[in-house]
Amino acid sequence: MAIDYGSKRVGIAVTDPFQIIATGLTTVHSKDLIEFLKNYFLKEEVSCIVVGEPKRLNNEPSDAARFINPFVVYLKRTFPTIKVERMDERFTSKMAFQTMIDSGLKKKARQNKDLVDEISATIILQSYLSQIK
C-alpha cells in the first residue's frame, strides 16, 4: 500500500498479491485516514505501507515534511506489525497530472484533486515496486 499524505487529502494505492502492478484505491480526508486504514486492514492483508517523502531538488526535506514526518511516527505506533517505508515523491503530482492528460481526461476531470492524489499514490507505489524487484 502507498500513501500520498497531504494536510487535507490522502491518496491511497494498493498492489496485487504478487506485487507487480500498483492501482489507485481511493482518496480520503486526512482526519479519516487512520479509521479508514483500520477498517481496510481488517479485510485485506497489508505487509508494507509506503509513504511519500517530499523533498526539494537539492534533496532537502520540503515544507510538507513538517506534518508528514509526525504522521509516519504515528502510523508506525498505531500499526506496529506493518512495515513502513519512505519513497521519494518528487514530481509525482506533475506526473499524475500528465497521466490524466495522456489518458484523455477532460479539463474539468483534471481539476479533481482527489484523483491527482490517488494517481500520485499509485506512482509512488509503482516506483517502490520497481525499486525492490
Report how many domains make up the chain. Answer: 1
Q: Any idea of the CA torsion for 111, 113, 118, 123, to the nearest 10 degrees?
A: 70
pLDDT value at position 110? Answer: 63
Question: What is the domain extent for residue 77?
Answer: 2-132
Q: Pairing relation of β-strands 22-29 and 9-15?
A: antiparallel
* pLDDT for residue 64 is more than 80: no
Q: What angle do CA 91, 97, 58 make, to 5 degrees?
A: 10
The b/e string for 57-92 (b: 16+ C-beta within 10 A; e otherwise) is: eeeeeeebeeebeebbeebeeebeebeeebbebeeb
State the pTM of this model. 0.84
pLDDT tens digits for range 83-130: 999 998 766 766 766 776 777 767 776 666 787 889 889 999 999 998
* Cβ 133 vs Cβ 21: under 8 Å: no
pLDDT value at position 53? Answer: 87
Q: What is the CATH number of the domain that holds 48?
A: 3.30.420.140
pLDDT tens digits for range 20-48: 999 999 999 999 999 999 999 999 999 99
